[in-house]
């Protein structure tokens, strides 16, 4: 299935029916269409769902300057939710869950967090076959729902991505080979470099991994983590990766911990020409717990809007921690109502429903 073609459907409709008509007729047609659309939107809940579906069509993306663009060369801001560790909470990788997130939360991107070293991690004795089967499901469900999917090599306690470079290369080779033609897959090659890992080291790693992906997927978006748990996005501009095409650099924030200082880094990076992608955030503390900071959250929202950034909320799980979006008491793995959501889950849903 060619996703690009689908996405064009709406536009073709507009052009086909307006071409060649006199101006007055054009205006009348537009007016009638607007009235009909307004009436159907009010009367039919299904139409609202269809509208979400259309705006979330997973056509190929590309980067222009610092901005993520859709296939029509228009800026696009992805709205995503990240799974918790795939080994921890595999039950949320199901099509009904993703559909609910798409239609009710207006999410168009699912991030699949494949931890490397933590619990059941890919390089720590985790069941590789099962983990890859979950990724396969995730990619296929998102594809069929017209959503994007981020395959996230979730380094964390292994602060230096070089530690598992060999495994990363063979993993991403396999991913790009399998999914390179899908058009909805985004590769996140290292979640959060940390400890003493410098940008120079991350850059070397990226320069080694990116060509492996490019061999099979020439144009897919690639996300590169930055030092200090993906905060130091301002370090990139002086020395970006070698193969720059469709590469973005990640900035992560947890609003109750990361404040103006971190927003300033992002602004500095963008002004210096670095494409920034927020592949993980929450409005709790960086521990994934602690009190939500709503006033800082508001400031982050303003930054995201101003710079048309994409963002992905952490996490799709019912773990008993503030940054989980589903309440601990809720055992449903799809079809949640708002009362099943945590304070943060409710906030995220409202935020996505109300913004681009």
**One residue of 280, 292, 326, 352 binding ligand IDC per CB under 6 A:** 280
Catalytic residue, chosen from 117, 188, 280, 285, is: 280
Q: Interface with ligand IDC by CB under 6 A: which range of 48-56, 132-140, 281-289, 348-356? A: 281-289
Q: Three-state DSSP class for 60?
A: coil
- Measured from the Cβ of residue 21, the count of other Cβ atoms closer than 10 Å reads 12
118 counts as catalytic: no
**One residue of 66, 228, 250, 323 binding ligand IDC per CB under 6 A:** 323
d(CA 34, CA 49): 18
347 binds ligand IDC (CB under 6 A): no
Nearest to ligand IDC of 4, 118 (CB atom): 118
Nearest to ligand IDC of 183, 225 (CB atom): 225
Q: Alpha helices of the chain — where are they, by DSSP H?
A: 3-18, 23-43, 45-55, 95-105, 128-144, 165-179, 199-214, 227-230, 260-271, 294-306, 343-354
Name residues whose C-beta falls within 8 Å of residue 48's C-beta, 6 or more positions apart in sequence: 41
Q: Which helix (H) or strand (E) holds 247?
A: strand 247-254
286 binds ligand IDC (CB under 6 A): yes
Nearest to ligand IDC of 66, 282 (CB atom): 282
Q: Interface with ligand IDC by CB under 6 A: which range of 21-29, 63-71, 199-207, 283-291? A: 283-291
Q: Smallest distance from the beta carbon of 135 to ligand IDC, in angstroms?
A: 17
Residue nearest ligand IDC by beta-carbon distance:
288
152 binds ligand IDC (CB under 6 A): no
Nearest to ligand IDC of 205, 253 (CB atom): 253
Of 207, 192, 202, which Cα lies nearest the Cα of 250?
192
192 counts as catalytic: yes
d(CA 288, CA 292): 10
d(CA 345, CA 339): 10
Chain residues in the site for ligand IDC (CB under 6 A): 118, 156, 191-192, 229, 252, 254, 280, 286-288, 314-315, 319, 321, 323
């Amino acid at each position: 299935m060619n996703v690009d073609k689908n996405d064009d459907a709406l536009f073709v409709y507009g052009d086909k029916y307006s071409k060649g008509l006199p101006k007055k007729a054009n205006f009348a047609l537009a007016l009638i269409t607007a009235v009909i659309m307004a009436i159907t939107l009010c009367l039919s809940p299904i139409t609202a769902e269809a509208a979400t579906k259309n705006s979330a069509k997973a056509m190929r993306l590309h980067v222009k300057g610092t901005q993520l663009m859709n296939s029509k060369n228009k800026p696009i801001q992805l709205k995503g939710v990240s799974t918790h560790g795939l080994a921890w909470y595999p039950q949320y990788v199901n099509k009904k869950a993703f559909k609910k997130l798409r239609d009710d939360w207006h999410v168009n991107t699912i991030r699949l967090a494949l931890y490397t070293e933590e619990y059941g991690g890919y390089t720590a004795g985790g069941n590789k076959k099962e983990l890859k089967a979950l990724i396969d499901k995730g990619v296929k469900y998102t594809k069929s729902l017209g959503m994007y999917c981020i395959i996230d090599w979730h380094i964390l306690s292994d602060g230096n991505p070089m530690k598992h470079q060999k495994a990363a290369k063979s993993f991403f080779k396999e991913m790009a080979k399998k999914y390179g033609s899908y058009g909805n897959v985004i590769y996140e090659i290292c979640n959060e470099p940390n400890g003493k890992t410098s940008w120079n080291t991350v850059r070397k790693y990226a320069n080694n991994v990116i060509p492996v992906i490019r061999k099979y997927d020439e144009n897919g978006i690639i996300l590169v983590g930055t030092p200090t748990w993906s905060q130091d996005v301002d370090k990139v501009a002086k020395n970006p990766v070698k193969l720059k095409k469709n590469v973005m650099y990640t900035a992560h924030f947890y609003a109750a911990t990361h404040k103006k200082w971190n927003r300033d880094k992002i602004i500095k990076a963008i002004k210096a020409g670095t494409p920034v992608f927020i592949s993980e955030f929450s409005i709790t503390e960086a521990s994934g717990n602690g009190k939500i900071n709503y006033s800082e959250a508001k400031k982050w929202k303003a930054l995201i809007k101003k710079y048309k950034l994409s963002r992905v909320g952490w996490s799709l799980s019912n773990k008993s921690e503030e940054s989980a979006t589903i309440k601990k008491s809720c055992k449903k793995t799809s079809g949640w109502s708002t009362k099943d959501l945590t304070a943060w889950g409710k906030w995220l849903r409202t935020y996505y429903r109300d913004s681009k």
